[in-house]
């Protein structure tokens, strides 16, 4: 008898959570779906990749970061300026933005292959310059190491420390990934970890003075994180559980490409210590700091960032 008393409350609770999850995804889709018409589609073997293409000149590929909700939207404030001298390609990585959310385990080598195939099949040129943000420099540097003639220069915006991106998945990571990918619990857990409160906490909205220019983009990242449906959690699970990591220390000293680092002057990490990690392994890496910016100098100070990019590209 007691068991029967629990059935109705549990059913109501489960149905309520299901409605909440669906409402969250549908609301996010309504907020950003009008932007999808500006994208082209590339039918990649693991899923459709959406990207923007504009301008003329030397080819320039922009690759966004891999935090939850990341997409090529983070380059919106520099694309127009860069397109005056370059043919700019800004893609949404598989599992992010408007690209397909495949039900697979995402790895660093998957994205290395994506970058290679995108250059060969979409850009169709050699000696392509690449700009990365955050963790995406991992994929670009490995792609440049494996295909010497496809990539010319790589400019890394706000790259993380080398030790952090060398971490392998642990047993705890395996368990968390399994939970996030489970059909019902995973969707609810994903939405809790990517709530508005958690996003504000992640980007420090309430903890420190925030550049007002950055706030609409944080809101956009939040809606990106809930676009389409629950399949969006698969890339997130792989990302936070270290499946995208690769150890760059093994290839940095062997790279004969021109490499550059751009950091915001008020970035969360110790800029000098981070730059030393990279230049100690490869002394030819050049570094620049953008004033009045934190982790997103290309959003917070786009003109200074573009000037620095052009300086590096024509160096």
Flag whether 121 is in a domain: yes
pLDDT at 268 (0 to 100): 84
pLDDT at 304 (0 to 100): 97
Flag whether 212 is in a domain: yes
Domain around 96: 11-313
Separation of alpha carbons 223 and 281, rounded Å: 39
Flag whether 6 is in a domain: no
CATH code assigned at 251: 3.40.50.1820
Flag whether 220 is in a domain: yes
pLDDT in tens, the chain (315 residues): 455 555 545 444 444 444 444 554 445 445 555 455 689 999 999 999 999 999 999 999 999 999 999 999 999 999 999 999 999 999 999 999 999 999 999 999 999 999 999 999 999 999 999 999 999 999 999 999 988 789 999 999 999 999 999 999 999 999 999 999 998 888 889 988 988 888 888 887 665 555 688 888 988 898 888 876 678 899 999 999 999 999 999 899 888 889 999 999 999 889 999 999 999 999 999 999 999 999 999 999 999 999 999 999 986
pLDDT at 35 (0 to 100): 56
Flag whether 5 is in a domain: no
pLDDT at 28 (0 to 100): 45
- Quote the number of domains for the chain: 1
Flag whether 1 is in a domain: no
């Amino acid at each position: 008898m007691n068991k029967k008393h629990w059935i109705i409350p549990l059913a109501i609770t489960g149905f309520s959570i299901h409605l909440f999850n669906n409402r969250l995804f549908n609301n996010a889709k309504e907020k950003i779906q009008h932007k999808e018409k500006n994208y082209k589609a590339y039918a990649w073997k693991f899923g459709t990749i959406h990207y923007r293409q504009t301008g003329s000149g030397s080819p320039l590929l922009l690759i966004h970061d891999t935090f939850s909700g990341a997409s090529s939207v983070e380059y919106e404030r520099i694309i127009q300026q860069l397109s005056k001298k370059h043919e700019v390609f800004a893609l949404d990585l598989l599992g992010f933005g408007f690209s397909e959310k495949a039900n697979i385990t995402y790895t660093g080598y998957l994205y290395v292959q994506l970058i290679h195939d995108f250059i060969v099949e979409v850009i169709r040129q050699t000696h392509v310059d690449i700009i990365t943000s955050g963790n995406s420099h991992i994929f670009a540097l490995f792609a440049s190491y494996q295909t010497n003639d496809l990539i010319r220069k790589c400019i890394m915006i706000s790259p993380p420390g080398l030790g952090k991106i060398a971490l392998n998945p642990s047993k705890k990571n395996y368990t968390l990934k399994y939970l996030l990918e489970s059909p019902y619990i995973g969707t609810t857990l994903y939405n809790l970890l990517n709530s508005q409160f958690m996003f504000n906490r992640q980007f420090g909205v309430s903890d420190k003075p925030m550049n007002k220019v950055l706030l609409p983009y944080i809101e956009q990242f939040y809606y990106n994180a809930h676009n389409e449906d629950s399949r969006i959690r698969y890339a997130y699970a792989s990302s936070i559980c270290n499946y995208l990591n690769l150890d760059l220390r093994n290839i940095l000293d062997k790279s004969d490409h021109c490499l550059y680092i751009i950091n915001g002057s008020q970035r969360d990490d110790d800029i000098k210590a981070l730059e030393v990690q990279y230049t100690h392994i490869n002394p030819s890496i050049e570094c620049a700091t953008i004033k009045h910016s934190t982790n997103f100098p290309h959003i917070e100070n786009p003109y200074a960032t573009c000037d620095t990019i052009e300086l590096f590209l024509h160096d």
